[in-house]
Structure 1
Amino acid sequence: MFLLSQKHIVYTEPLIVQAGTEVTVFYNPSNTVLGGKTEVWFRCSFNRWTHRYGPLPPQKMLPSDVGSYLKVKVKVPLDAYMMDFVFSEKEDGGLFDNKYGMDYHIPVYGGVMKEPPMHIVHIAVEMAPIAKVGGLGDVVTSLSRAVQDLGHTVNIILPKYDCMNLSNVKDFHYTRSFFWSGTEIKVWFGRVEGLSVYFLEPQDGKFSVGCIYGRNDAERFGFFCHVALEYLLQTGSHPDILHCHDWSSAPVAWLFKEHYKQYGLSSARVVFTIHNLEFGAHFIGKAMTYSDMATTVSHTYSKEVSGNPLISPHLHKFHGILNGIDPDIWDPYNDNFIPVNYTSENVVEGKKAAKITLQQKLGLSQSDQPLVGIITRLTVQKGIHLIKHAIWRTIERHGQVVLLGSAPDPRIQNEFVNLSNQLHSSHGDCVRLCLTYDEPLSHLIYAGSDFILVPSLFEPCGLTQLIAMRYGAIPVVRRTGGLYDTVFDVDNDKDRAQIQGLEPNGFSFEGADSSGVDYALNRAISAW
């Protein structure tokens, strides 16, 4: 899937590269910064540019029989485990396509050498499903699982909150204690979704306040970052990568560089990921300065924030990498929360059964109407004025609406409680607002909905639209951030989808007013 996902730009024949063979590399400059240049030079090496022979001399690419692709032949050494390459407009350089500073890498199979595994430690304050507030928690878990599946060693360090659901932690046990700054820190260990997790519990009650956020967070999380590094130091750990996330674990970047790098953790590199630039600007700016590499969660969001003064001085080390979802956790073929498991083969029957179950569970009429699902935190970022408008528009178009979500702000929560009471009395057969957090119900809504609405004013990546597509619910989204990168409008994005080797897969709209959401929602319901 990874190799096919970049086929619109580069691919090899054969697609799977074997050590000790000759492969042909095909490259389409018209889809890159080289913008259709006919003279392109290919520069290649192996094993992440560390091969003993060093980079090969530049080769001029030749025309091919495949559209606007150019081609070049490469001999792959027997000791290769990774093929690395970039493209340039001239033999001596000029303009480069180096995949926005990342370079192109294709795995090599069957060689006499294997890539040495890395030790990666995520220091984070959320992790699904045991301490999840938003998408950050999902990504910490699914990214860690994906990297572990590649053969690397992955550990996660979390605060031990008193509000955690420890029933999802296997082999949970106390391991040791240590002291930092006069406070005893108890360390617990457990396995979550197959991942090794270390829980740090300061004995002064910092994380025994009944919630993850909302209690002097800067001081609590700053303390946590310090003791996480102290734990690694005292246990003699030598990670290759320290990965910290958002403002809440951003202090890891500068605490490591200023206090711990010289004391035995010297081999580590710091990766900092921005999941949402809206919170903790000072912390994020400082982490950008101190990190070795910084990422955010979609390519479009990286462009949207690149002019921000916290980001702009560091563009040389800042990359947008699209989030993914864990296909084992979000899997309609193996999901205990839906009535009939399904794949793309029996999606019609599976979704029909889920829709009936959802209607029964929530007391909606069991009529065959278009059902619009909305699964979100109710915050201004998520476009709550557009959500309210879309509910009324769907009713007018004889559809049904199920909303699942709650608001951190009590005033917004009360607004939706009042709206819920009004709608349930006037349109109780076609609208249900479930103003809470309910993971099992979310699975049923994804499976039972025809459409999932995501009208965010800004959205760094968004997981909702990705999960929707996994369950065969068509996303209706605002064109921003990761929503733009993942949803291709059936009427307006055919060419953009084709360039990426994809098909149109949803409905989208510009603007942030009611006419915008109407434009997408009306087309969706009419298509239904």
Structure 2
Amino acid sequence: MKVLFASAEIFPYAKTGGLADVAQALPDALHKDVDIVSVMPLYSFIDTKHFNIKKTMHSFTVILGKKSYEVSLFESLNKNVHTLFVDEKNLADCITPYADKRGEHPLNRLRFALFSKAVVKIAELLKVDALHLNDWHTALGALWAKELLPDLHTIFTIHNLAFQGIFKKETLQELGVDNSYFTPEGIEFWGDINYMKAGIAYSDVITTVSPTYKREIILSRFGCGLEGFLHVHEHKLYGIVNGIDTAFFNPTNDTSLHKTYSLKNLAPKKSNKLHFCKEHNLSDPHKPLTVFIGRFSEQKGLDVIINALEKVLALECNIAILGDGDALMSQKLKILAETHLNLSVKSGYDEGLSHQMYSAADFLLMPSRFEPCGLNQLIALRYGTIPIVNDTGGLHDTIQDFESVERSLCGHGIVMRKLSSSELYIALERALQLFENRKKFLEVQKADMRCDVSFTKSAQAYQKLYRKKQ
């Protein structure tokens, strides 16, 4: 079976979040049993020499409305996966996949429509059996596949329903999409067009990245306005929990770490904490260290963290925060860090630093309002860092409370039953109590490190869906 896997970002070439990690790790897990090729745009910031990205003999024209766009294909082999790159000047012109120097790229409606149509052309060139599309950036590919390659089996994965690709109705004419698609059953959305709806309506199979998120998105609280539409298509909706690349996220050989360690030799993890606290000017390094790594947003619960921080920082603990996003949240955190010796805040994203934080920390804080799957808690398990999570989405499917009587999940942590500043404070108090009980702490830590957080089981589930005809 031959599969084309399309994503707007793939690690290590381009990454703004978990989509890139999944778009690398899932094809890598599939490659032994599936002839899989990945495809993404060739952005101008990608270092083609470093990644040995070479131009192929293939080029073609993509027509959108009344305009033609010349596309060239490049390729590279990262680990086990053959990756193609779509090169076109509108796609390339950016400083991140979705932004230029002014902020959100003003031509995203065109850029990702162009990419989606190019993906369908590549599927035709490669004569693939299945096309796997990811998030709104590739969703129009399902529409064009039905028009141009009606026998092609299409799978569409929703990684985060909050981002849908909504644009003005006039975009239809710009893209050359027939007005017959502009209906509530198609891509119309409150007078605009919604790229995400194309993936939902016209794909053969829809997946989300955890079973709980699959159930949540047909409810108004989590459906982002598409709950009714998803309910109509529930018959082809599946929930498959993500995994991580356990070769890349591996404390035994991670070159980013001060010292590597393993389940059998955890002592260097303490050395990593001492080193990290010294490097980041945190107070007493023997105190428990809790870290937050992620986007500064309400979705990630950072507002709840900020509201609780003054009280939390009075506890015997150190807090380290890494991320970027909401400017006001970032400013509030930096002000708090100036007056508290046990708080470190770093803006931006640094892959190596994030690994150092996982390796140094005792606890990972992840109080998300909603979380389609979440990868941070899986990485934390791998590095022996105990997760503190809100009970939602993929967090519900991967982490259970360490005091739970039922032992249905492998990952153990501290689970908040509702999201509030007071509940967060209680969760951190429980974490400190667990830290003081060294026997129990090590028991939970070692159990977490034994968890299989790879993509192996999930890859098997995707293989079945690649072969499934509705």
Which range, TM-score by smaller chain?
0.7 to 0.9
CA RMSD of aligned residues (A): 1.8
Alignment-derived partner of residue 161 in structure 2: 277
Question: Which structure has greater helix proportion?
Answer: 2
Residues 155-170 of structure 1 mapped to structure 2, 5 A cutoff? 155-166=37-48, 169-170=51-52
Query: Aligned match of 1:416 in 312, 326, 330?
Result: 330
Alignment-derived partner of residue 301 in structure 2: 383
In structure 1, how many angstroms separate the alpha carbons of the residues matched to 2:310 and 2:372? Answer: 27
Alignment-derived partner of residue 77 in structure 1: none
8 A Cα contact 1:170 1:192, kept in partner: no
Alignment-derived partner of residue 290 in structure 1: 202
Query: Aligned match of 1:231 in 122, 133, 137?
Result: 122
- In the TM superposition, what whole-angstrom CA distance separates every residue of 1:431-490 from its partner, at most 9, and x where no partner exists? 110011100000000000000000100000000111001000000000000011111112
Change (3 A) 1:526 1:293: same
Query: Aligned match of 1:513 in 394, 410, 420?
Result: 420
SS class of match (1:271): strand
SS class of match (2:91): coil
Identity %: 32
SS class of match (2:426): helix
8 A Cα contact 1:172 1:191, kept in partner: no
Matched, 1:399 2:283: no
In structure 2, how many angstroms separate the alpha carbons of the residues matched to 1:391 and 1:166? Answer: 43
8 A Cα contact 1:488 1:494, kept in partner: no
Change (3 A) 1:327 1:287: same
In structure 1, how many angstroms separate the alpha carbons of the residues matched to 2:354 and 2:24? Answer: 18
Query: Aligned match of 2:396 in 477, 484, 508?
Result: 484
- In the TM superposition, what whole-angstrom CA distance separates every residue of 1:411-431 from its partner, at most 9, and x where no partner exists? x324423431x233322x321
SS class of match (1:279): coil
Alignment-derived partner of residue 360 in structure 1: 278
Matched, 1:209 2:89: no
Alignment-derived partner of residue 243 in structure 1: 132
CA apart distance, 1:284: 2.3
Matched, 1:525 2:432: yes
Pick the structure with greater CA Rg: 1
Alignment-derived partner of residue 347 in structure 2: 435
Matched, 1:330 2:249: yes
8 A Cα contact 1:131 1:137, kept in partner: yes
In structure 2, how many angstroms separate the alpha carbons of the residues matched to 1:166 and 1:430? Answer: 41
In structure 2, how many angstroms separate the alpha carbons of the residues matched to 1:448 and 1:316? Answer: 44
CA apart distance, 1:171: 5.2
In structure 2, how many angstroms separate the alpha carbons of the residues matched to 1:499 and 1:447? Answer: 26
8 A Cα contact 2:291 2:365, kept in partner: yes
Alignment-derived partner of residue 192 in structure 1: 78
CA apart distance, 1:510: 2.2
- In the TM superposition, what whole-angstrom CA distance separates every residue of 1:86-139 from its partner, at most 9, and x where no partner exists? xxxxxxxxxxxxxxxxxxxxxxxxxxxxxxxx2111111111121111111111
In structure 2, how many angstroms separate the alpha carbons of the residues matched to 1:172 and 1:401? Answer: 44
8 A Cα contact 2:249 2:379, kept in partner: yes
Change (3 A) 1:448 1:375: same
Alignment-derived partner of residue 125 in structure 1: 8
8 A Cα contact 2:312 2:425, kept in partner: no
Give the TM-score normalised by the residue count of structure 1.
Answer: 0.71
Matched, 1:138 2:21: yes
Change (3 A) 1:396 1:175: farther
In structure 1, how many angstroms separate the alpha carbons of the residues matched to 2:204 and 2:131? Answer: 10
Alignment-derived partner of residue 152 in structure 1: 34
SS class of match (2:242): coil
Gap regions ≥5 residues in structure 1: 1-117
- In the TM superposition, what whole-angstrom CA distance separates every residue of 1:344-389 from its partner, at most 9, and x where no partner exists? 1112x12111112211221223530010110011112111212213
Give the TM-score normalised by the residue count of structure 2.
Answer: 0.79
In structure 2, how many angstroms separate the alpha carbons of the residues matched to 1:479 and 1:165? Answer: 40
- In the TM superposition, what whole-angstrom CA distance separates every residue of 1:167-222 from its partner, at most 9, and x where no partner exists? 6523534443222233221211112233111111114x332132211212122101
In structure 1, how many angstroms separate the alpha carbons of the residues matched to 2:372 and 2:122? Answer: 32
In structure 2, how many angstroms separate the alpha carbons of the residues matched to 1:479 and 1:330? Answer: 24
In structure 1, how many angstroms separate the alpha carbons of the residues matched to 2:75 and 2:247? Answer: 23
Give the letter for the 1:273 counterpart.
Answer: T
Alignment-derived partner of residue 368 in structure 2: 456
In structure 2, how many angstroms separate the alpha carbons of the residues matched to 1:395 and 1:473? Answer: 20
CA apart distance, 1:323: 0.5
In structure 1, how many angstroms separate the alpha carbons of the residues matched to 2:50 and 2:369? Answer: 34
- In the TM superposition, what whole-angstrom CA distance separates every residue of 1:56-86 from its partner, at most 9, and x where no partner exists? xxxxxxxxxxxxxxxxxxxxxxxxxxxxxxx
Matched, 1:372 2:290: yes
In structure 2, how many angstroms separate the alpha carbons of the residues matched to 1:167 and 1:322? Answer: 34
8 A Cα contact 1:131 1:165, kept in partner: no
Give the letter for the 1:527 counterpart.
Answer: L
- In the TM superposition, what whole-angstrom CA distance separates every residue of 1:36-69 from its partner, at most 9, and x where no partner exists? xxxxxxxxxxxxxxxxxxxxxxxxxxxxxxxxxx
CA apart distance, 1:517: 1.0
